[in-house]
Amino acid sequence: MRGLVTVFGGTGFVGRQVVRSLARQGWRVRVAARNVGRGYRLRMLGDVGQIEVVQANVRNAASVARALDGAEACVNLVGILYETGRQRFQSIHAMGAKLVAETAARQGITNFVQMSALGADADSPSKYARTKAMGETAVRESLPSAIIIRPSVVFGQEDGLYNKFAALSTFSPALPLVGGGETRFQPVYVGDVAAAVAKALSLPEAAGQTYELGGPATYSFREMMEFVLRETGRSRVLLPLPWFAAKLVGQVGDVQAAVLGVIAPVLTSDQVELLRADNVVSGQAPGLAELGVEAKTVEAIAPAYLYRYRKGGQYAATPEGAF
């Protein structure tokens, strides 16, 4: 069995798959989570004693140091899609990444993966993108050998993308096309992202590299909504939402996130800013192929979990005719 790797954010959507991939590659895995109760099932993803879950918060230096004690490698996956309570983009994406990297460097850990995002840019109008870029910079300042992973939007059984709009289609007469629905994406399968992270830790030539991860095809936002409607067998209006109107909807989402917290808003004002730019790989950086991962298509994966949004669920007829 390989040495110990500490995974911050291992209880999340991407994190659970990363933990599984690392365990399959023979690593001993320590999952560092703010809420350890969310990780109780992770131990079943490996052999007896291979996976442990400990409490840690990337805003708390002592807990980060404890989580990294004795580790040979580290993966930082901690991130948020919207701000609520004390969970702020600056404190999580920038300061949190900085603390984890600095602590790892002090403890002699140089095999380090930082999860960022396509579109990370210090000059972006989006706080999410700006702070992701700040996190990358902070990590590289402490650990020049760190591996940066920049995925496009990630899909899979528990995603917050296709599931969100499929659920919306079950009761809403229309699906919004923010900015007209022309923004392009390159969705990447969560299992492929996890495999990429695990392989990057094992490749000496990956040290210091930045990888851009995208799926095998690009889609406009409109095409993604059309796919959701086909797979759920629903006939809904695709309603173009001008940027000014989307901004108003996003402001309502900001209030919802601030007041309700645990209920994810459909859209926030910061996400509106993100949607103004395409989210596709540049072609100037290595990606899944260089890590030996064959990208899976949306069409091959998503129907297996979107069926539940059809009228009748698993017992529904194939969704050729909308209703």
**Cα first-last separation, the chain:** 53
Tens place of pLDDT per residue across the chain (323 aa)? 689 999 999 999 999 999 999 999 999 999 999 999 988 899 999 999 999 999 999 999 999 999 999 999 999 999 999 998 889 999 999 999 999 999 999 999 999 999 999 999 999 999 999 999 999 999 999 999 999 999 999 999 999 999 999 999 999 999 999 999 999 999 999 999 999 999 999 999 999 999 999 999 999 999 999 999 999 999 999 999 999 999 999 999 999 888 876 678 889 999 999 999 999 999 999 999 999 999 999 999 999 999 999 987 766 666 554 44
**What CATH number should be reported for the domain whose range is 4-153+189-214+281-295?**
3.40.50.720
Angle at 194 between CA 213 and CA 40, to 5 degrees: 145
pTM of the model: 0.94
The answer to whether the Cα torsion of 272, 278, 279, 282 is positive or negative is negative
Instruction: Please count the other Cβ atoms lying within 10 Å of the Cβ belonging to residue 15.
Output: 26
Domain coordinates in residue numbering, the chain: 4-153+189-214+281-295
